[in-house]
Structure 1
Amino acid sequence: MQGVLSGFVVIAVVIAVGYGIGRAGHLGEQGREVLTKLAFHVASPALLFTTLAGADLSVVFSDRLLVTALSTAAVAGVFVAVGAVRRWGVGRTTIGALCSSYVNSGNLGIPIAVYVLGDASLVAPVLLFQLVGVTPVALTVLDLAGGGRKRPLWQRLLTPLRNPIAVGSLAGVTVSAAGVTVPGPLLDPLTLIGNMSVPAVLLAFGISLRGSALPLRGAERAPVLLAVALKSFAQPVAAWALAAGVFGLRGAALLDVVVTSALPAAQNLFTYASSYRVGEVLAREAILLSTVLSVPVLVAVAALLG
């Protein structure tokens, strides 16, 4: 369990530093917004490009990816259905659906894959699916759900190409699929810039906690509870049922997919919510609570299936 605990300690420390920065006011009133924009428009696209440009795309056709895709769709679909019935709005429901299904496969998933599962590449199917499949679709929905005048159909179809995170993801996949090796003088600066992404996201999240009310005490209580229940409990159960019952996975393969599905909601979801100014409280509280709950859940999964 050292990998689980060490991953959470790293995240907690950086968030705590962000909280301290926010309380001290070192970055001013606009500090969180600047970090969020830096992560969304610059650092995250660079990180996604460098990650995917060297990825093995053969994992896209694995059973693990199918389990991930189906379990993600199942829990996200439940949140969307409830959101539609409760009239939570397209943008807010989209953020909630992401918080219900989008796992922290990067800064937490990688160390857990290394220390618990013994192979960092095991998180690659989830990472690729979320970056290439889920993220562009969700951000396109958020773009189209925004206010303002209606645009022509051709402009709406090109919405993903105006989103920096989607562009970074798709560019990385294109380079990998083409078998192109990015020259060092170009790749190294992008890697350096991309390394700012996770710290910027975690620091911005920590700053956002300054002056925030305790979770589950505001108007977002119902969507937060639903998102956390789906993320922390329903998604790993769905992944286990699909992996064992439908695809016949056993042993280490079964443990891999259930552990990755039990990871908490990713911190970059708060960046998306902040960038589109929708569901920020929902994202912040769902990420916080699912991160706390994922510790006992991951320990239980490892104990039962390990």
Structure 2
Amino acid sequence: MQGVLSGFLVIAVVIGVGYVIGRRGYLGAEGREVLTKLAFHVASPALLFTTLARADLSVVFSGRLLVTALSTAAVAGVFVAVGVARRWGVGRTTIGALCSSYVNSGNLGIPIAVYVLGDASLVAPVLLFQLVGVTPVALTILDLSTAGEKQPLWRRLLTPLRNPIAVGSLAGVAVSAAGIGIPGPVWDPVQLIGNMAVPAVLLAFGISLRGSTLPLRGGDRGAVLLAVGLKAVGQPLVAWVLAVGVFGLRGAHLLDVVVTSALPAAQNLFTYASSYRVGEKLAREAILVSTVLSVPVLVVVAALLG
């Protein structure tokens, strides 16, 4: 319980600081865009590289990761099906599918893993799966959907290698797999830059709330409700069914996969939406509402399965 509340408190305070910065105009009219670009092109790739370069890649083959992967695919697939039927467009549907399934495994997942699950490493399979599997695929789709039709095929095939976040993730995996040791004078500045990623994302999100309307209003209401419902209720429910019915997980292992699946949509999804200028309102509102709803959901999950 303490881990859930303390993790959300940290996020709320930093977002609140961003909102005040936006209200006061301390960073000027382009403050949010500058922070977004800093996070997307510089800080986040550095953070992902340092996170994955020293990660234990054997967690990729764990049974709990399969539950995460299948539950992610299930709820994202539901949103994609509805998006195709409603003709929401490739970019908007991709952002919505991410908001339905991409959990906040970093700045919120780690403290909750420590205080609720008792081990920060338990969130590693989700983190690795999202960074190595989901993120490069989703950003490639966004790149291709906004790149125009005149690019040659070879350039489109190399799209993941031009995306800074995908490059940072894949480089980190390569270093970890090869067992390469990076000397301190090289590692330390990269790690220092990476430490800017989470606060930059949260501050940019807070700034974006200035002057915004209340959530669940306007043309994005249906998409937001669908994304939030899938994220807050659908994904943990699917994870529980798969964990118990298919993989036979019980006790601490069951609590682990359901808690991580019940985490809200990650704030960095707003960075992706802003960088590609698609689905920004959808991402902002889905992240905000799913974060609020995940508090009672996580409390209930911890009480029932803990």
Does the pair score TM above 0.5? yes
Q: CA deviation digits over 1:82-137, x for unaligned, max 9?
A: 00000000000000000000000000000000000000000000000000000000
Q: What is residue 296 of structure 1 aligned with on the other side?
A: 296
Residue identity opposite 2:203 in structure 1: L
Residue identity opposite 1:288 in structure 2: L
The aligned runs of 1:28-39 (5 Å cut-off) are 28-39=28-39
With structure 2 as the length reference, what TM-score do the two structures score?
0.99
Residue identity opposite 1:280 in structure 2: E
Q: CA deviation at 1:148?
A: 3.1
Q: What is residue 95 of structure 2 aligned with on the other side?
A: 95
Q: What is residue 129 of structure 1 aligned with on the other side?
A: 129
The aligned runs of 1:156-235 (5 Å cut-off) are 156-235=156-235
Q: What is residue 40 of structure 2 aligned with on the other side?
A: 40
Question: Equivalents in 1 of 2:21, 2:276: separation in Å?
Answer: 24
Q: CA deviation at 1:181?
A: 1.1
Q: CA deviation digits over 1:39-63, x for unaligned, max 9?
A: 0000000000000000000000000
Q: What is residue 61 of structure 2 aligned with on the other side?
A: 61
Q: What is residue 9 of structure 2 aligned with on the other side?
A: 9
Residue identity opposite 2:40 in structure 1: F
Q: CA deviation at 1:201?
A: 0.1
Q: CA deviation at 1:24?
A: 0.1
Question: Equivalents in 1 of 2:149, 2:122: separation in Å?
Answer: 44
Question: Equivalents in 1 of 2:229, 2:217: separation in Å?
Answer: 17
Q: CA deviation at 1:150?
A: 2.3
Alpha-carbon distance change, 212 to 53 in structure 1, aligned in 2, over 3 angstroms: same
Residue identity opposite 1:277 in structure 2: R
User: C-alpha root-mean-square deviation of aligned residues, in Å?
Assistant: 0.5
Q: CA deviation at 1:147?
A: 4.7
Check if 1:275 corresponds to 2:288.
no
Unaligned runs of 5+ in 2: none
Q: What is residue 248 of structure 1 aligned with on the other side?
A: 248
Name segments (4+ residues, structure 1) moved above 3 Å: none
Question: Equivalents in 1 of 2:227, 2:166: separation in Å?
Answer: 24
With structure 1 as the length reference, what TM-score do the two structures score?
0.99
Helix, strand or coil for the counterpart of 1:181?
A: coil
Helix, strand or coil for the counterpart of 1:103?
A: coil
Question: Equivalents in 1 of 2:36, 2:150: separation in Å?
Answer: 27
Q: CA deviation at 1:151?
A: 1.1
Question: Equivalents in 2 of 1:45, 1:220: separation in Å?
Answer: 30
Residue identity opposite 2:196 in structure 1: M
Check if 1:70 corresponds to 2:70.
yes
Question: Equivalents in 1 of 2:256, 2:150: separation in Å?
Answer: 44
Residue identity opposite 2:20 in structure 1: G
Helix, strand or coil for the counterpart of 2:284?
A: helix
Question: Equivalents in 2 of 1:301, 1:217: separation in Å?
Answer: 29
Question: Equivalents in 2 of 1:56, 1:148: separation in Å?
Answer: 39
Q: CA deviation at 1:36?
A: 0.1
Question: Equivalents in 2 of 1:150, 1:56: separation in Å?
Answer: 41
Question: Equivalents in 1 of 2:216, 2:175: separation in Å?
Answer: 44
Q: CA deviation at 1:298?
A: 0.1
Residue identity opposite 2:242 in structure 1: L
Helix, strand or coil for the counterpart of 2:281?
A: helix
Question: Equivalents in 1 of 2:143, 2:61: separation in Å?
Answer: 29
Question: Equivalents in 2 of 1:205, 1:299: separation in Å?
Answer: 25
Question: Equivalents in 1 of 2:60, 2:150: separation in Å?
Answer: 35
Residue identity opposite 1:157 in structure 2: L
Helix, strand or coil for the counterpart of 2:263?
A: coil
Q: CA deviation digits over 1:265-289, x for unaligned, max 9?
A: 0000000000000000000000000
